[in-house]
């Protein structure tokens, strides 16, 4: 039986392990931490539980597909579709319900902003069109293999490229169609789903709204961490072997073939296939320093990172739901600070996720667990202690003002995750959440491929490689790898 070594137990690593084991490989997963999940873990104390990383769940069929491989699902993983995906707040008191139904959302926008519902519906229909045109290639196939392009669907997709807004920015497209500043800001926000700026990222990324308004957003019973637990249980049920606390320090290459890996404890694991779920930058720099480095990929602009405050709030807020956005007054200036100044704007857009709205055991009765996040630059050596202190004051001031409540006095639990800790815990270079940013027209094609062009039997999955970051794309990367391995 052939053996596959998977470096890292993030979403991509877990999914790859499941798929390769299902294909008949003996699979060994080596994880530096003493827990699986990568960014999708949990934190908290005896009173408050928080999903530590990704908080939005779309395309649940990708998880279901993995759990049902082989016809046996060892978990009770379940989820509910959200009637209202997100609630959007603006400084002037405007509040928009982000319903998970495109027609209902369009009517809400017409009522609140005076934008004709037909305009919104047409824009969302274009988002669906982009998704249907590009999904099978950009999300399901390797962009770096000739065979991916040798089919009728791909040819049709290429013929439609002029209609996909690939040469215009998201902001330019949204502004030309939607006109209204508040609505443009709402749709521009989707650039942050892969750590980019809507003023630089191509308009083809307007594919993303379709996932929420067309396909729907969901909440797993028990919280997002149930995804990690369910995939881990599935992998173990199939016979995948996990080695936690085993940090890989090198990959042995002989005659341009990856043959084994060595861990910090001195153990060597041999494999017919080696799959890295690490960020490609530390993988090459630390594990394969003597091999040819993909300098162009390494030099690419990093995606944004995140500053997260996990707050136990001693009060329940009926006006808030699972996902909430409190918008900045000057979105363009906020992104200029992130990607040009490598700084945090004084009026950041604030995201508040409250899983206790659905999973009541996540907080005491009458209280809530707030996951409060702002987009920040990757770690370029800034004075993060100073930046965090300033940002915390600005965030508390903004939330207190917009909710007309003194938030500071309600915080009874707090922990913080910043770009430095993200890199330390997940090996994400500079704490960038999505590897490289998509701030140019050809970003999708510039990502590192799911295989090595220089070394045989070496493959890559996870958020830093094709097709990108986020749960659905990380799971897609695993499927691509499973189709590439010999």
- Would you say residue 441 has pLDDT above 90? no
User: What local confidence, expressed as pLDDT, does residue 164 receive?
Assistant: 79
Under the banding of pLDDT at 50, 70 and 90, the label for residue 144 is low
Token pair in block for residue 309: 């405050």
Token pair in block for residue 417: 């995750």
- Would you say residue 263 has pLDDT above 80? yes
Please report the DSSP string for 74-132 in residue order: -S---EEE-SEEEEEE-TTS-EEEEESSHHHHHHHHHHHH---HHHHHHHHHHHHHHHH
Contact between 227 and 15 (Cβ < 8 Å)? no
Q: What is the pLDDT of residues 206-242, one digit of tens each?
A: 999 999 999 999 999 999 999 999 999 999 999 999 9
Contact between 157 and 134 (Cβ < 8 Å)? yes
User: What local confidence, expressed as pLDDT, does residue 233 receive?
Assistant: 97
Mean pLDDT of the chain: 94
Q: How far apart are CA 418 and CA 344, in angstroms?
A: 12
Which residue has better confidence, 486 or 31? Answer: 31
- Would you say residue 205 has pLDDT above 60? yes
Task: Give Cα separations from 293 to 234, 255, 257, 282, 303 (angstroms).
Answer: 35, 17, 15, 11, 20
Under the banding of pLDDT at 50, 70 and 90, the label for residue 134 is confident
CA angle 134, 200, 348 (to 5 degrees): 115
Token pair in block for residue 345: 């704007």
Q: How far apart are CA 97 and CA 148, in angstroms?
A: 40
Token pair in block for residue 226: 């149930």
Q: How far apart are CA 357 and CA 188, in angstroms?
A: 26
Per the listing, tokens 């997963």 go with 29
User: What local confidence, expressed as pLDDT, does residue 371 receive?
Assistant: 98
Q: What is the pLDDT of residues 291-343, one digit of tens each?
A: 999 999 999 999 999 999 999 999 999 999 999 999 999 999 999 999 999 99
Which residue has better confidence, 137 or 232? Answer: 232
Q: What is the pLDDT of residues 59-105, one digit of tens each?
A: 999 999 999 999 888 889 999 999 999 999 999 999 999 999 999 99
- Would you say residue 148 has pLDDT above 60? no
The predicted model scores a pTM of 0.95
Residues 6+ apart with CB under 8 A from 227: 11, 40, 57, 63, 77, 220, 471
Q: Say what percent of the chain tops pLDDT 90.
A: 89
Token pair in block for residue 278: 């690490």
Cis peptide before 467 (omega within 30 of 0): yes
User: What local confidence, expressed as pLDDT, does residue 142 receive?
Assistant: 62
User: What local confidence, expressed as pLDDT, does residue 344 receive?
Assistant: 98
Half-sphere exposure of 308 (CA within 13 A, CB side): 28
Q: What is the pLDDT of residues 26-56, one digit of tens each?
A: 999 999 999 999 999 999 999 999 999 999 9
Residues in the chain: 486
Average pLDDT over residues 1-7: 97
Contact between 439 and 291 (Cβ < 8 Å)? no
Which residue has better confidence, 59 or 146? Answer: 59
Q: How far apart are the first and last CA of the chain?
A: 13
Q: How far apart are CA 311 and CA 414, in angstroms?
A: 5
- Would you say residue 262 has pLDDT above 60? yes
Q: What is the pLDDT of residues 396-433, one digit of tens each?
A: 999 999 999 999 999 999 999 999 999 999 999 999 99
Q: How many of the other CB atoms lie within 10 Å of CB of 3?
A: 17
Per the listing, tokens 């899983």 go with 355
- Could you list the beta-strand ranges (E) of 255-367: 257-263, 268-270, 273-276, 305-313, 323-326, 350-353
């Amino acid at each position: 039986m052939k053996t596959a070594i998977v470096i890292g137990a993030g979403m991509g690593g877990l999914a790859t392990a499941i798929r390769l084991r299902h294909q008949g490989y003996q699979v060994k997963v080596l994880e530096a931490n003493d827990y699986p999940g990568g960014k999708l873990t949990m934190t908290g104390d005896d009173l408050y539980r928080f999903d530590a990383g990704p908080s939005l769940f779309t395309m649940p069929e990708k998880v279901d597909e993995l759990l049902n491989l082989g016809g046996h699902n060892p978990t009770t993983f379940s989820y509910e579709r959200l009637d209202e995906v997100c609630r959007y707040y603006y400084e002037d008191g405007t509040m928009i319900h982000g319903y998970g139904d495109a027609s209902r959302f369009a009517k809400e926008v017409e009522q609140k902003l005076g934008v004709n519902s037909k305009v919104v519906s047409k824009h969302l229909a274009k988002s669906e069109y982009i998704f249907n045109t590009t999904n099978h290639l950009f999300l399901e196939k390797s962009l770096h293999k000739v065979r991916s392009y040798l089919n009728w669907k791909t040819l049709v997709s290429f013929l439609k490229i002029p209609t996909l807004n690939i040469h215009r920015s998201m902001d330019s497209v949204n502004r030309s169609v939607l006109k209204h500043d508040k609505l443009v800001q709402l749709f521009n926000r989707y650039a942050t789903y892969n750590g980019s700026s809507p003023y630089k990222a191509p308009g083809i990324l307007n594919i993303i709204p379709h996932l929420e308004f067309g396909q729907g957003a969901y909440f797993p019973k028990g919280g997002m961490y149930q995804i990690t637990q369910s995939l881990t249980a599935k992998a173990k049920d199939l016979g995948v072997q996990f080695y936690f606390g085993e940090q890989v320090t090198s990959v042995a290459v002989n005659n341009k073939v990856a043959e084994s890996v060595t861990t910090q404890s001195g153990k060597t694991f041999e494999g017919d296939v080696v799959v890295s779920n690490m960020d490609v930058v530390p993988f090459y720099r630390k594990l394969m320093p003597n091999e040819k480095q993909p300098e162009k990929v390494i030099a690419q602009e990093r995606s944004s990172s995140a500053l997260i405050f996990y707050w136990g709030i001693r009060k329940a807020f009926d006006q808030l739901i699972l996902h909430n956005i409190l918008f900045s007054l000057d979105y363009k200036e906020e992104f200029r600070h992130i990607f040009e100044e490598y700084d945090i704007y004084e009026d950041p857009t604030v995201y508040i996720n409250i899983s206790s709205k659905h999973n009541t055991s996540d907080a005491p009765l009458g209280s809530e667990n707030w996951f409060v996040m702002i987009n920040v630059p990757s770690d370029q050596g800034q004075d993060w202690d100073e930046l965090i202190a300033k940002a915390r004051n600005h965030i508390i001031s903004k939330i207190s003002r917009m909710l007309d409540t003194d938030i500071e006095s309600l915080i009874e639990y707090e922990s913080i995750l910043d770009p430095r800790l993200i890199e330390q815990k997940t090996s994400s270079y500079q704490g960038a959440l999505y590897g490289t940013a998509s701030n140019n027209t050809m970003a999708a094609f510039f990502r590192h491929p799911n295989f090595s062009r220089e070394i045989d039997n070496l493959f890559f999955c996870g958020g830093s490689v094709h097709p990108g970051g986020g749960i659905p794309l990380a799971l897609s990367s695993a499927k691509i790898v499973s189709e590439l391995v010999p």
